[in-house]
Structures are given as C-alpha cells and as structure tokens.
Structure 1
Amino acid sequence: MDEYVDILDEQGNPTGQSCLKSEAHRKGLLHPTIHVWLYTKDGRVLIQQRGKHKDTHPLLWDVSVAGHVAAGENISLAAVREVKEEVGLHITQKDLEPIGTFKAVHKISEDFIDAELHHIFLCELKVPLGALTKQDSEVDDLALIPLFKFAEETWGLANVAKYVPHGPTYYKTIVKEIKSRI
C-alpha cells in the first residue's frame, strides 16, 4: 500500500516534509520504520518469512514485525498497529521496550533505494505460536526458534543468506538485548 511517510534528514530528524512511500523509495529519502522483535522468556525469538510478493527481500526471514510509520504517526503506536496487522497480536505501548534506532540503506535497483531509520523495540511474546494470525499479503510464514540458533545463523554467519541482510552489528544488538531479558 502506498502511504505518506515523513522524510528525515541524515541525522534522523524530521524535515517537516512528507511524500508517498513509493517516492521516498524511488529517490532514496530517509524515512522512519519500526521493527518489533517478539521473544519468549524461555529464550526463543519469533521470525517471519517475508511474503513472496514483497518488493524487497521476498521469502527471506526477518524481524518478527516490521513496517513503515505513516506521516504524522506516533512511532510506538505504529509499532502496536503493525504487530496487530502482521501477526494478529494485541499489545499496548507499555508492552514495547525501545532499544534504539538503526539506519539502513539498501539499493534494490536503480530506481529503488530503501533508506530507513528503524525504531527497534522488543516485546515479550506471552501466547503460543498457534495463537498468532499472519497477514497473508505480507507474511509467508512464522517460526519461533531458539535464540542461540538465531544468533548462529545471523551473526555467527552460519546461514546469513536465509535472512534479510541487516548486517552482523544489527543482529548482534538484537541477540544481546533479548539475552539480557531472559
């Protein structure tokens, strides 16, 4: 869905301008997104396989929930909305633990540069995997895997081609933050 997004400067500050998401991608304009990593107290992390029709990284495994922040939308409310849309889980802003931001620029093609400032949250998953409902247009599959396996595959470089290429620094941060909470 093409929606309006706010444009950020190189430091991640709002410029006061907004445009359609498609234009931001075409021009490589930095814009805000959310990443929510759902984890269990027994040391598992929820990953999603991106839908086969996604413009970027189709069928690769990725963050539990990710999405764009609509123009003028509150960051944590966008996270709550995306969790509901993508995996059918009702959470509140109080359930979210912000752990920072991460700037990512991926050149998909000559006319598609994905320049995003990810606002990253952790959220404890308190329901079984079977209680989640994936959004078929966005998510191909969901899996709950042990944190050590996730760490091995992402920044242990055992199976990086399976995942969206966020890079070892990003994945190390996620693993360390989750590990400190279990």
Structure 2
Amino acid sequence: MDELIDILTDNGEPTGTRAMKTEAHRKGLFHPTVHIWFYTSDGKILLQKRAENKDTHPGLWDVSVAGHIGAGENILDSALREIAEEIGLSISETALQKIGIFKSVQKHSESLIDCEFHHTFLSELKFPLEKLTKQESEVNDLKLLSIKKLEDELLHPDKSKIYVPHSQTYYSTIVSEIKKLL
C-alpha cells in the first residue's frame, strides 16, 4: 500500500518535504520507519515471516513488527498502530522501550533503493503466540525463537539466508539489549 511519508536527510534530519513511499523507494530518499522487537521472559524473540507478495525480502524472517511512519505521524503512535495492524495487539506506550535509531540502506534494484532510519523499540510479549492475529497482507507467519538459536543462525552463512539481511551490528544490538532485560 502506498502512503505519504516524511523525507529525511542522510543524517536523519527532517527536510520538510513529503513523498509517496513508492517515490521515496524509487529515488532512494531517506525516510523514517518503526521496528518493534518483542521478546518473552524466557529468552525468546518473536519473528515475523514477511508475506510472499512483499516487494522487499518476501518470505524472509524479520523483526516482530515494522512499518513506515506516516507523514506527520508521531513515532510512538506509528509503533502502536503497526503493532495493532500486523499482530493484533493493543499495548500502551509505556510497554515500549526505545533503544535507538538505526540507519539502513538496501539497494534491491535500480528502481528500489530503501533508505531508512529505523526507530527501534523492545517490548515484552505477555500474550501467547496463539492469541496474535496476523495481518495476512503483510505477515505470512509468526514464531518464537530462542535468542541463542537466532544468534547461531545469523552467524551461519547458509542458515542466515532465511532472515532479512540487516547489518550484523543491528542484530547484535537487538540481542544485546534484550539480554539486558532478561
């Protein structure tokens, strides 16, 4: 779905301009997104398998919930909206812990260059997996995976191919921050 988004400089500062998401991706314009990583008290991480019809990384395992921040939309409101849309959970702002903003540039093709700043949050998942409702157009599957298994698979050249290729620094930071909370 196309949507109007705010355009940022390559340092993450607002430019005061807006564009449709497809245009931002076509031109490689920086824009803000939200990433929410859910974890359980017993050391598991909720992963989302991206829908097969996605234009970037179809069918790969990724962050629990992610999405573009709409033009003029508050970051926390965007995070809460995406959580409700993608996995059917309604949580409070206080359940989200922001751990940083991560710059990401992924060139998928000449006409699809994804330049994003991920506003990244952690939240403890206090609901059983069976209670989550997938947004069929975005999410193919959901699973809980132990932190240890995720770390091992991300370091293995063949096994890591099932995950969206975020930077190793990004994945390491997520895992490290979750471990601090356990």
Superposition TM-score tier, normalisation by shorter sequence: over 0.9
Q: Contact 1:102–1:119 (CA<8 Å) still a contact in 2?
A: yes
Tell me the amino acid that sits aligned with residue 8 of structure 1. Answer: L
What's the secondary structure of 2:76's corresponding residue? helix
How far 1:156 moved relative to its partner?
Answer: 5.6
Q: Which runs of 5+ in 2 are unaligned?
A: none
Tell me the amino acid that sits aligned with residue 69 of structure 2. Answer: V
What's the secondary structure of 1:180's corresponding residue? helix
Residues 32-51 of structure 1 correspond to what in structure 2 (within 5 A)? Answer: 32-51=32-51
Q: Contact 1:155–1:172 (CA<8 Å) still a contact in 2?
A: no
Which residue is equivalent to 2:84? 84
Q: Give the superposed CA RMSD.
A: 1.0
Q: Contact 1:43–1:147 (CA<8 Å) still a contact in 2?
A: yes
What is the count of residue pairs matched by the alignment? 182
Which residue is equivalent to 2:135? 135
Q: Contact 1:152–1:158 (CA<8 Å) still a contact in 2?
A: no
Which residue is equivalent to 2:164? 164
TM superposition score normalised by structure 2:
0.98
How far 1:160 moved relative to its partner?
Answer: 1.2
The CA distance in 1 between the partners of 2:98 and 2:124, in whole Å, is: 12
How far 1:158 moved relative to its partner?
Answer: 6.2
How far 1:117 moved relative to its partner?
Answer: 0.5
The CA distance in 2 between the partners of 1:151 and 1:122, in whole Å, is: 17
Q: Contact 1:155–1:171 (CA<8 Å) still a contact in 2?
A: no
Q: Which runs of 5+ in 1 are unaligned?
A: none
The CA distance in 1 between the partners of 2:100 and 2:157, in whole Å, is: 23
The CA distance in 2 between the partners of 1:156 and 1:173, in whole Å, is: 18
Which residue is equivalent to 1:22? 22
